[in-house]
Amino acid sequence: IAISKTADMNFGNVAVSSSNSGTVVLAPAGTRTTTGEATLPASSGTVSAASFNITGESGYTYSIGLPSGSITLETGDQANSMLINSFTSDPDGTGTLTAGSETVNVGATLNLSAAQAAGVYTSSSDITVTVNYN
């Protein structure tokens, strides 16, 4: 069984109030919802769930392992940061290889602090997704 990344995770443009925090939940389907004081500006920017191509023996089932902790995103100058966590996938937990291949999409929750500084935030570490035959 093998896994290869085909698309990066991108939350797009988001905003938060100056006095309260919030979250942006990116579903594996690439849709976004908010909680708290987070908002989604009219100009959405690039929004995409992470996507992986799984290949192996046709008809075999496999388990999907997602990060259990948080990953830090930082601005280029590392002056500002925020966390992503609560990773989810589609399929959820297990999949079956049809014709020896399947796509797994991964979403997560972006945690915004009150008055989160504007900027482009990236991670210096990869989101580790694993697959193993059942």
Mean pLDDT for the chain? 96
Region 46-52: mean pLDDT is 97
- pTM for the complete prediction? 0.94
Q: Which amino acid appears at position 43 of this protein? A: S
Contacts of 14 (CB under 8 A, 6+ apart): 24, 34, 38, 39, 40, 41, 110, 112
pLDDT band of residue 126 (cuts 50, 70, 90) is confident
Q: For residues 61 and 113, is the Cβ–Cβ distance under 8 A?
A: no
Dump pLDDT digits (tens) for 82-111: 999 999 999 999 999 999 999 999 999 999
